[in-house]
Structures are given as C-alpha cells and as structure tokens.
Amino acid sequence: MSSNAYQVLEQRFARMGALNEAAGMLHWDMAAVMPEGGHGARAEQLAILNVLAHEMLTAPETGDLLEMAGAQGLDGWQQANLREMRRLHVHATALSGPQVEAMTRANAACEKAWRAARLAGDFKAVQPRLQVVLDLTREAAAAKAEKLGLSPYEALMDQYEPGALVAEITPVFDAYAAFLPEFLGRVVEHQNRRGAPVAPTGPFSVASQKALGERLMGVIGFDFHHGRLDTSLHPFCGGTPDDVRITTRYDEASFADALMGVIHETGHALYERGLPEAWRRQPVGQARGMALHESQSLIIEMQAARSHQFCRFLSPLLNETYPGNEAAFDPDNLFRLYTRVEPGFIRVNADEVTYPAHVILRYRLEQALISGDLTLGDLPGAWNEGMKQLLGLTVANDRDGCLQDIHWFDGAFGYFPCYSLGAMTAAQFFATAVVASPEIPAAIGAGDFKPLLGWLRTHVHGLGSSLTTAEIVTRATGKPLDAGVFRGHLEARYLAAA
C-alpha cells in the first residue's frame, strides 16, 4: 500500500512537473520573443498554470498520499524523491490561500512603488509598502519555521537553498568579512603597481558577439541539440533540462559583459542539462538549490573562464574576430581585464573579491529585519554603516544603497546568501576537481572542458536533489563548505607575481 501510494504520488508530481516546465517555457518566451502586447494574455496563462500546480500540491489527496507512503520498498532515489515531495508540500501548505494572495498583491504593489522610489532615490516613498511586505514575510516565515523545524530566517532561505543553516553560513561569511579589508588593500596596491590594462576598441557588432558566444558555448559543452541562445533584457537560464534556453544582452561598445554573461549562463545550463534523466519532472530530479546552481555558473565563469589558461585560449579567437586589438587581447592583458578589482556601491557590477561584501551586508540586514532587531526606518542608516565597514565606501544616495536591488521589494528575503555560497562552493569544487584530474587547467587552456565537465556531471549534476547541498559538497570535496578554499583561490589569483 505504501509503495502504491508512492506510485500515485509520482504520477501527480509528474503532472505538476510538466505544468512547471510549461510555465518555464512561457517565461522564456515572454522575456526573449514575446511582442509587447502579449503581456495580458501571458499573465493569465502563467497564473492558471501556477494555480493548477499549487492546487495539485495542496489537494487533500496529496496530503493523504504523503501520509500513507512509507519508505518501505522504495530504493534510495525514491526515498529521496518522497522526502522532496514532503518538503514541497510543507512549503505549499504552511500558508493559507488568503495569505498567499495577500503576499502576491503586496509584493506586486511594492515592486511597482520601488521602481519609482529607486529612480528618485527616495526610500521613504516606498517604506510603507515595504513594511506591508516585510510584515507578511515575517508572518509567513514564522508559519513555515514551525512546520520545518527551522528558524524563521532559515525557513525563508529554505525556499531557495534547501537546508541552508545560519549556524553554518554565519561563520563562513564572518571569516570573509574579517579577511577582506586587508586583502582588498593588497590587491588594489598590486593592481596599481602594474597600471591599467589596455581596453579593446570597438564597435563590436551584435552578430559577431552572438557568433563568438555560441562558439564558446560549444567549447564549454553546451548541447545545441537541447538548447538555444537568445537575447533578453535580463540574462537568465530557463527552459527545461531537455531544452535549455539561455539569454544574454549585447552592448556594441563592449563585448566583455555579454561574453562572460554567456559563459556564466552556460554553467547554469550544463547543470540543468546534466540532471538525472530518469527523474525528469520529479522533485528529486530538479536542481538542488540556488546556491548550488550559482556554484555551477561560477565554476565555469569565475574558476575556469577568468583564468590565465582560458585567456590564452581566448586570445587568438578574439584576434580573429576583432582584428586590430592585439595589445588588448594579449593573454596576460585579457586576464587583467577580466579580474579587475574595484570596490563600488552596486552589487551587480561587483568583482569576484568584493562581491561577497555586498552579500554579507544584505545577509546581516535581512536577518535583523526578519527577527525584528532592525526596523525599516533604520534600514538606510544601517546599510550605509555596513558599506563603510565592509568596503570603506560612503553611500550618498539610497539609489546606490538599500534601493538598488529588487529582491526585498518583491518579497524575496533569504535569497542573497546563495550568490556567495555559490562562489565559495565553486572554488572548493574546482580545487578538488583539479586534484582529482590534474589535466583540467591545461585542458581549459586548450579549449577542452570535458575533464572538468566530467567531474561536475558525476559529483554534482547527476545527483539532482537526491542529497542535500551539504552532503553533495562533503562527498565531492571531503569536507563541508570551507571559505578558506575560496580565500586561497583569491590569494593565488590576485596577489601572484605577474
């Protein structure tokens, strides 16, 4: 009976999985090709798909089946699948229908107000709306925390990176915050000694950038039989594991952002494509979480592509594509261009070294907001104080401060840590992979990503959600997440003699 119940659950979740995949494709379409006038109909379609999937998940029969289903007679993957079904069910049923509706409405209203407030640099203009969002989020966090046996803030993180724990993250982030100021000073000094790298001169046509991007996607291992590259305002990786759609945007004055953006999204795409094929559309067949996902984009972008080896591979390709920039495309110059460190106010523009400072600031502040230790009235001041302390910068306008990111204003608390957990995890994976397969760096220099991809397929992609992120990291690297590996990577990359 209990294994019968499990079979019925698999069928139900396959339906939800197909609905989610359909919604994913429609999201891609909306961002990449939909004409402007299609928004109304698209919103209806997506709302219906989401409601239907939600209704299936929260239906009383689903709850009954989850009660009945026991681990007996199930193999390891099936047990993990059942565990993931339960986790999704808890998240979906922890909140009442009216609660979800109120949050949806509050988030939309706040996000809209935020767009105007950010332009005006006027935090007070959006504060009342944000207060509603925060109040509802705290309520939701408390409800989920009780059901999940986590703290309220952890319950929020669990939506994005299941199993993320404050007790594990805080020491890692604190160690980095302690390490950064002196290290940053040394990096900037080291950079200044060498002078500024030579920038290439354009224009760089969209067509040439796209062709180059697709060529590099092929080099890295993107499967064009199962995916595409398109253009959208905000680059992303969408679609499904069998049909991965990545996007970028182009600037004809500079190709580096699109190039590195495509490489970054290709890392996400490889993860999706490598998920266990036997578990398509089942919870256990999905990517583990956003921190692990980010580790897969960053291991390709930051660890592999912004390396000396890859710059040597890239140099002749760039000379071929954009003749007349030989000095800029010298491999060492390319490396210096792609590893430039410069503290700034804006997270999305930050380099590899200062990026975690932006995340740590938000991580600390959102914990305080959720716990009630920090009120919204004190948020701008606390933000600016944190920026001063972490990066030595004085914020003059909230536009460059607490108004810069959409996340909180759209109700997404607990997401930020994923970015830096991903960066640190990527460093740890890469270091381990290179020990296991010492040919990896030279292969990257020859445009051969197969050794690295092989390691990732085995130790990350193919595992889906069968293990927790902590288990995946520990099994793959022999130890839990250790920020020391990331720091070591930074020291080797940013302080090495030229």
Q: Among positive and negative, which fits the CA dihedral 77, 83, 89, 92?
A: negative
- CB atoms under 10 Å from CB of 136, counted, come to 20
Q: Both ends of the chain: CA-CA distance in Å?
A: 67
User: Least Å distance between CB 54 and its own copies?
Assistant: 13
Of these, 223, 332, 410, 471, which contacts its own copies (CB under 8 A)? 223
Q: Which is nearer to its own copies, 20 or 170 (CB)?
A: 20
Q: What is the spatial distance between Cα 174 and Cα 167, in angstroms, rounded to a whole number?
A: 11
- Which of 22, 256, 436, 470 is in the footprint of its own copies by CB under 8 A? 22
* Active site (annotated) includes residue 61: no
Q: How far is the CB of 46 from its own copies (least distance, A)?
A: 8
Least Å from the CB of residue 283 to its own copies: 16
The only residue of 47, 196, 406, 435 in contact with its own copies, by rule CB under 8 A: 47
Residue 40 touches its own copies, criterion: CB under 8 A: yes
Instruction: Indicate which single residue of 12, 42, 450, 457 sits in contact with its own copies (rule: CB under 8 A).
Output: 42
**Of 184, 211, 175, nearest to 481 (Cα)?**
175
Instruction: Report the alpha-carbon angle 440-482-274, nearest 5.
Output: 45
**Shorter beta-carbon distance to its own copies: residue 13 or 449:** 13
> Among 11-19, 148-156, 379-387, 438-446, which window interacts with its own copies (CB under 8 A)?
11-19
Q: Which of 2, 5, 12, 25 binds its own copies (CB under 8 A)?
A: 25
Q: Looking at 9, 19, 291, 467, which residue binds its own copies (CB under 8 A)?
A: 19
Catalytic residue among 265, 272, 294, 366: 265
Residues 262-291 that bind its own copies (CB under 8 A): 280-281
**With binding defined as CB under 8 A, does residue 60 bind its own copies?**
no
Nearer to its own copies, 229 or 353 (CB): 229
Residues 227-266 close enough to bind its own copies by CB under 8 A: 227-228, 240-243
Asked if residue 109 binds its own copies (CB under 8 A), the reply is no
CA distances from 319 to 250, 324, 380, 452 (A): 19, 7, 46, 26
Kindly write down the DSSP assignment for every residue of 158-227, as one continuous string: HTTSTT--HHHHHHHHHHHHHHHHHHHHHHHHHHHHH-PPPPP-----HHHHHHHHHHHHHHHT--GGGE
Enumerate residues 360-389 that contact its own copies by CB under 8 A: none
**How many residues in the shown chain lie near its own copies by CB under 8 A?**
36
For 116-151, what is the HEC assignment?
Answer: HHHHHCCHHHHHHHHHHHHHHHHHHHHHHHHHHCCC
Q: Say if CB 80 and CB 466 are below 8 A apart.
A: yes
Binding residues for its own copies, rule: CB under 8 A, are 14-15, 18-19, 21-22, 25-26, 29, 33-38, 40-42, 44-45, 47-49, 52, 223-228, 240-243, 280-281
Give the residue numbers marked as catalytic: 265
